[in-house]
Chain A
């Protein structure tokens, strides 16, 4: 049976296909490919979960017989699913309730600790993130020097197994702070150049040297799970995400990556990275920039620095993407599109801003073969918004799919909205 759905049908019904359609044509919308390009009136064909084409709808003749579902999205916008790197979404539920927090394990070097299995697909928070177009996230542990190993997850699934997009994509290394101390701006306690910085740095070198040596032998009689977890950082394509912000740290991270011959180092944060764009380009180290909706670090910093940083890296030729770690980050992940939106007024074009939360993070995390853009052969992980999805006013998910499967465009907050709206209907 052929279903030609109207817009309303999908948004009201949500996911209620008796049988998942195997071939879907989404046509007529403003197509944002994710690679910096766009088609004003585009069409995306999906078959067996894959994009079979994404092209200009005006130069394309629809053979209706070929599709079991055709959805006209004229006037709307089509995007690849947005990707939230470096996030505790799914690993936490309520910030103030310790029992709901599953992202910070005891220990200093925990590369063997894996986020994938703690990822809660039924997270209520996640349901509100998904409906703003964020369809993938990098579930990331926190704490210690090496927090653990992240995995890239779809924000929908029956369980963590089928939500997994890329298992164990990288380890997260928290580079020591070059400045150390405590206190508050009201009354500072001594904070100065971290006296232990060099020691802490050396410890990291030592650990990595040890792990590297260990990785040279395939099968150890006695396995060391910590070091096993590091193996792919040297032998495979496991990323090393290095969380660092200050200039001194960034310069040292570049040297570290070079000396250890890390295959895929990534800087996360990079508050000062605009000062060393040339070195980052030469070292081929991408940056997941500090949350644009954050305050400048120092009083004399450009008041718009966090807004502007993405474009400064773009202009410097550095590979970058936007991430959202910070206060209340799980809940705030739904604002990822608006983080990208904010960077638009500070230099990025619309398509570049979209790329910074789609193809760029996919490339940096190594999932761009299948995700990050609406291109032939990639997974059909996409959504349609009523309007510009990077603008608060017009980001309204009309339909969404992950790996070709329709996802719910609803969340419990809408249900409460409807429930209590009834209270006032008289």
Chain B
């Protein structure tokens, strides 16, 4: 480190003042201060000053850690050390934003298998171990040269490092990667804090899902706001840290594109800016990203081609994985084309070689060199607000840069030196001249031709020819031998074996090179053991083996992303067009009942006519002759768990009203498409049944190819999941889960009383505050906010329930606490208590015939739906199962068998009745003018076992069509074949990884944690 005294540098610009803080030398020195050169001048260099600006044959002058001058005509001070950089390229040091180098890993506080409900961290910290803004990487940073080396060799000079653990992770620290003491490499330039949805090493039960992580992060932020006001509170170091970091640059680490959109919702709620550490699939949400004013830190550890040499294995590779493999290298260039600010991270690589090969791959896939350089230098500096200090090679900035023996963005070059804060690290010597060529080598008066070829990266190989003259034929044979050629600066080592009539054995030569003259000379040992002199003289050229890396970019026009980018995705989203369906048997679900030869007209996403005397058709309408077919409104599934990311249950607490499935809707679930093929157009995505008060529902339309926000039904009524019975009391969770309250039905009742009592008190406190009777605003409590919505009839309850005792209990609790159960879902003993349900005003959403999967469903009978229906209860048949969800028409038909419902009423159990239960019947559930055009055309009576869906319309858009499905199937197969052959090409170039099969899992009511279940469904 160059500890120059600043007052000597009077010529400095004002920018340089920033640098004062960089190197004022905190450490006392033992003895005299270290001697250093005043100036270094790098002459005759090609300098990539900043993205887009390259100066050739230029001089760079630095003093200490500062860049003093740069240009073609720079007066070199007499006391400067001059470094001739002819043929070298100087590039600004890269800046890494997503790393944990030098920071120790977080450790779990808990051992053993029993659940941990409370935080084990001692001290005045936040109650949840996944929230630790107080962690400051600066306190943890231990420079580790070995760990830093790969980053340095990749060209990075700075890193913002942080402890990669938890949801609120704490502060990062910005360090120079040079080899110096901790004091010297750590800076105070940038303040940045880190966030994620990952719980990390915390073993605390809460949160157990991504929606829980989202709710927890939001609650923490509300708590921090509450903590900030000046009233007296207990000390909380976490919230203090949170507030101190509120305006820092914030990075949000994500594992998929959808997490970016999820985090952005939080950013908007709190008026904050998050920058995103991406996962490499951002090209799929490009439209959404352009609306976010954030920097995306892109990984470039592109997936390897799968090993597809075994066709049996190749069959198993999902098309989505293959398509992503093809598209991933385009990610940076697509982001760049759309003018989204982005950085590139080294994260995910092990060596500089890997990193550069991927960087060049991105360039070969359309990323410009300028954009690449920008993403590694200027953009990270800008995002951190330190572009006045670093990010380019400009006067006044920090002297951190790298010297290469060429332009590394264009070909495979060697990193010669890195300069960090003005200090040099030498990685390799630059060889200006090429030793490749043909030589005649003379050893002890014997001459042999020698050819040396470059194998790139400063490595060489040689071939030597020897002659043997046969004693019998006198014919001379030439034999070629491989020769080892090692060049270390100017020293050359040559080794080869000779077997002829004179020598037999190894020849080992050592010498110096004089490349200008094309001569090598030195001493060596011949097979006789004698030390001799040798020399070699260049006689000609050989062709180089070195390859030029950058090919001209040609976009593979077949590489396109679908909506969604997987099997059965659309090339482009189908449009909303006017349709007229004629000659159909229409199940209106209205007073008209089932009408023959009906016409249904769809315009602008709405049903504009259903009847037998059609008005004039809309202009340009497509007319669909449905003779012999049936047309109905779309199926609505009251109880579904498809299309959910990372956890259907927040099981960490008995009440988790604060979490919402709406935060984690997952549009890339193939089951959306499969259920469209079964006529489902809308679903309530319910939280699971792991706790008495679960989370909020998402009411969605099955808009295949859309984003989560587009799938959510506009202004949908608010719903929440409650649950009773075995799942809630963890009866079937194994012998460890016996700690969380409640473990009995008795406890379940008390959980409700407790929760709603707290909600009442919360509302009272808010009311008092609003009346001015309380000085400080009560802390925002997301859980109690939601329970209050229930008390205020602003949110409906759908309650998982089986046996009559608990059903009656909950109705008593509701009556006495002042709320109502909207729907009992599952409700398999509803037939025993239908009269009480009716009196309470609850509906029932049940299975057609499921039972015997656990003890509490022993009295479940398939006549349940009919019996509740007879008592005047609105009854729906639901799926709770991705498979059954695509044939709910068959399940509805079972109500005809069991109890004898009429077909019309049976059909309503999967259409109008769930619409009523979800309070969506003003816009869905029947074929009625003005309702949403969620329409299904069936090949036969939809209740028939033989009925198949011909077309499914959602909001007037055909999202499933049997004929198109056949085309999509074929297209999928062709696409897969194309990608397999492309992968085979890649395999032959050595690019392959074993296929990792994603075992299919599905969320059920009782699935715990972020992963889907492969267990049997116990609902």
Interface size class of A (residues with CB under 8 A): 35 or more
Contact A95 B883 (CB under 8 A): no
B947 CB contacts on chain A under 8 angstroms: 345
Q: Which residues of the partner chain A approach B894 to less than 8 Å between Cβ atoms? A: 392-393
Of B312, B852, B940, the contact of A93 (CB 8 Å cutoff): B852
Q: Are the CB atoms of B996 and A190 closer together than 8 Å?
A: yes
Interface status of B803 (Cβ within 8 A of chain A):
no
Contacts of B858 in A (CB 8 A): 94, 124
The winner among A124, A179, A344 for most chain B CB atoms within 10 A is A179
The answer to whether A190 touches B994 (Cβ under 8 A) is yes
- Indicate if B896 sits at the interface (CB-CB under 8 A): yes
Check: B583 CB closer than 8 A to any chain A CB.
Answer: no
Chain B: minimal CB distance from A332 (Å): 8
Do residues B1016 and A417 form an inter-chain contact, with CB atoms below 8 A?
Answer: no
Q: How far is the CA of A424 from the CA of B1010 in the complex (A)?
A: 44
Between B315, B677, B870, the greatest number of chain A beta carbons within 10 A of the residue's beta carbon is seen for B315
* B615-629 CB contacts (< 8 Å) to partner A: none
Does the CB pair B995–A295 fall under 8 Å?
Answer: no
In chain A, what residue has the closest Cβ to B944? A391
User: B674 to A303, Cβ gap below 8 A?
Assistant: yes
Asked whether A331 and B897 contact (CB < 8 A) given A186-B645, A298-B318, A303-B674, the answer is no
Shortest A88–chain B CB gap in Å is 11
CB closest residue in chain A, given B1001: A184
Return A210 CB to nearest CB of chain B, in Å.
29
* Contact across chains for A94 and B852 when beta carbons are under 8 A apart: yes
Query: A186 is contacted by which of B310, B566, B943, B1011 (Cβ under 8 Å)?
Result: B1011
Chain B count of residues within 8 A CB distance of the other chain: 81
A94 in contact with B313 given A300-B568, A303-B965 (CB within 8 Å): no
Q: B500 to chain A: closest CB distance in Å?
A: 50
Q: At the interface with chain B, which of A67-75, A153-161, A223-231, A335-343?
A: A335-343
- In the complex, what distance in Å separates the CA atom of A190 from the CA atom of B994? 9
**How far is B834's CA from A342's CA once the two chains are assembled, in angstroms?**
33
Chain B contacts for A185, CB-based, 8 A: 998-1001, 1012
**Interface status of B976 (Cβ within 8 A of chain A):** yes
Contacts of A96 on B, CB cut-off 8 Å? Answer: 726, 731-732, 853-855, 1018
B903's nearest neighbour on chain A, judged by CB, is A393
Alpha-carbon distance between A301 and B198 when the two chains are bound, in angstroms = 33
| Complex contact B312–A247 (CB within 8 A) | yes
Indicate whether A327 sits within 8 Å of B1016 (C-beta atoms), given known contacts A390-B945, A413-B863: yes
Question: A391, B945: Cβ atoms under 8 Å?
Answer: yes
- B726 contact set on A, CB distance < 8 A: 96
Q: Does B972 contact A (CB under 8 A)?
A: yes
Q: Is the CB of B313 within 8 A of A193?
A: yes
Q: Does A182 interact with chain B (Cβ within 8 Å)?
A: yes
Q: Is residue B779 contacting chain A, with contact meaning CB distance below 8 A?
A: no
Is B832's beta carbon under 8 Å from chain A? Answer: yes
Taken together as a complex, chains A and B put the C-alpha atoms of A344 and B893 apart, in Å, by 16
User: Any chain A CB within 8 A of the CB of B448?
Assistant: no
Cβ of B939 under 8 Å from chain A:
yes
Within 8 A of B (CB), among A320-336: 327-328, 330-331, 334-335
B21 in the interface, Cβ–Cβ < 8 Å? Answer: no
- With A95-B853, A298-B316, A300-B976 as given contacts, are A344 and B999 in contact (CB-CB < 8 Å)? no
Please provide the chain B residues from 649 to 677 with a CB less than 8 Å away from any CB of chain A in the complex: 670-671, 673-674, 677
CB distance from B551 to the nearest CB of A (A): 31
Q: How far is the CA of A188 from the CA of B568 in the complex (A)?
A: 22
**Minimum C-beta distance from A354 to chain B (A):** 13
Question: Does B831 interact with chain A (Cβ within 8 Å)?
Answer: yes
A97 to chain B, nearest CB (A): 6
Chain A residues near B313: list those with CB within 8 A.
179, 192-193
User: Is there a chain A Cβ closer than 8 Å to B531's Cβ?
Assistant: no
What separation, in Å, do the CA atoms of A178 and B1012 have in the docked complex? 22
- Contacting residues of chain B (279-327) with chain A, CB-CB under 8 angstroms: 310, 312-313, 315-316, 318-320
Are the CB atoms of A297 and B1000 closer together than 8 Å?
yes
* Interface assignment of A246: CB less than 8 Å from any CB of chain B: yes
How many Å lie between the Cα of A342 and that of B946 in the bound state? 6
Is B310 within 8 A of A193, CB to CB?
yes
Structural contact, B318 and A300, CB atoms closer than 8 A: yes
Q: Return A32 CB to nearest CB of chain B, in Å.
A: 15
* A293 to B885 CA separation, bound complex (whole angstroms): 11
**Contact digits for B976-1011, partner A, Cβ 8 Å, 1 yes 0 no:** 100000000000000000111111111000000011
Whether A183 pairs with B854 at a CB distance below 8 angstroms is no
Q: Does A16 count as interface, using CB distance less than 8 angstroms? A: no
Interchain CB contact under 8 A, A331 and B852: yes
Measured in the bound complex, the distance between the Cα atoms of B566 and A97 in whole Å is 40
* Distance, CA A414 to CA B1017, complexed state (A): 25
B998 near A188: Cβ-Cβ < 8 Å? yes
Min CB distance A336 to B, Å, is 12
Q: Contacts of A338 on B, CB cut-off 8 Å? A: 890, 945
Does A202 sit at the interface, judged by CB under 8 A? no
Q: Is A187 an interface residue (CB 8 A)?
A: yes
Q: With A391-B893, A392-B945 given, is the CB distance from A300 to B1001 under 8 Å?
A: no
CB contact list, A166-195 vs B, under 8 A: 178-179, 181-193
A424 and B837 CA atoms in complex are apart in Å by 13
Closest to B863 in A: A417
**Which residues on the B side are within 8 Å of A93 (C-beta)?**
852
Q: Would you call A395 an interface residue if the criterion is a C-beta within 8 Å of the partner chain's C-beta atoms? A: yes
Pick the contact of A299 from B318, B677, B893 — CB < 8 Å? B318
A279 within 8 A of B: no
Q: Which residues of A contact B677 (CB under 8 A)?
A: 303-304
Contact A184 B998 (CB under 8 A): yes
- Report how far A95 CA is from B319 CA in the complex, Å: 35
Interface contact B899-A184, CB-CB below 8 Å: no
CB proximity of A76 to chain B, nearest CB, Å: 15
CB proximity of A290 to chain B, nearest CB, Å = 12
| Cross-chain contact B566 with A299 (CB below 8 angstroms) | yes
Question: A416 at the A/B interface (Cβ < 8 Å)?
Answer: yes
- Is B1017 within 8 A of A328, CB to CB? yes
Flag if A184 contacts B999 (CB, 8 Å). Answer: yes
Mask, B851-885, CB within 8 Å of A = 1, is: 11111001101110001001100000000001110
A417: chain B residues at CB < 8 Å are: 831, 861, 863, 867, 899
Complex CA gap A420/B834 in Å reads: 10
Residue with the highest number of chain A CB atoms closer than 10 Å, among B996, B1002, B1017: B996
Taking A248-B312, A345-B946, A420-B867 as contacts, is the C-beta distance between A184 and B1014 under 8 angstroms?
yes
Contacts of A295 in B (CB 8 A): 671, 674, 882-883, 1000, 1002
Given A125-B852, A344-B945, are A178 and B312 neighbors across the interface (CB < 8 Å)?
yes
B854–A344 touching, CB < 8 Å:
no
Give 10 A-B pairs besides A191-B996, A293-B883, A391-B944 with Cβ atoms closer than 8 angstroms: A188-B996, A192-B997, A298-B567, A302-B969, A327-B1016, A345-B945, A345-B947, A345-B948, A416-B831, A416-B859
Q: Which residues of B contact A (CB under 8 A)?
A: 310, 312-313, 315-316, 318-320, 566-568, 645-646, 670-671, 673-674, 677, 726, 731-732, 831-832, 834-835, 849-855, 858-859, 861-863, 867, 870-871, 882-884, 887, 890, 893-894, 896-897, 899, 903, 906, 939-940, 943-948, 965, 969, 972-973, 976, 994-1002, 1010-1012, 1014, 1016-1018
Binding site for B on A (CB under 8 A): 93-97, 124-125, 128, 178-179, 181-193, 246-248, 293-300, 302-304, 327-328, 330-331, 334-335, 338, 341-342, 344-345, 390-396, 413-414, 416-417, 420-421, 423-424
21 contacts between A and B (CB under 8 A): A95-B852, A95-B1016, A97-B854, A181-B999, A184-B998, A185-B1001, A191-B996, A192-B997, A295-B674, A300-B568, A302-B969, A303-B674, A303-B965, A335-B849, A342-B890, A391-B945, A391-B946, A392-B894, A393-B893, A393-B894, A393-B897
Pairs of residues from A and B, 3 with the lowest C-beta to C-beta distance, nearest first: A300-B567, A341-B945, A96-B854
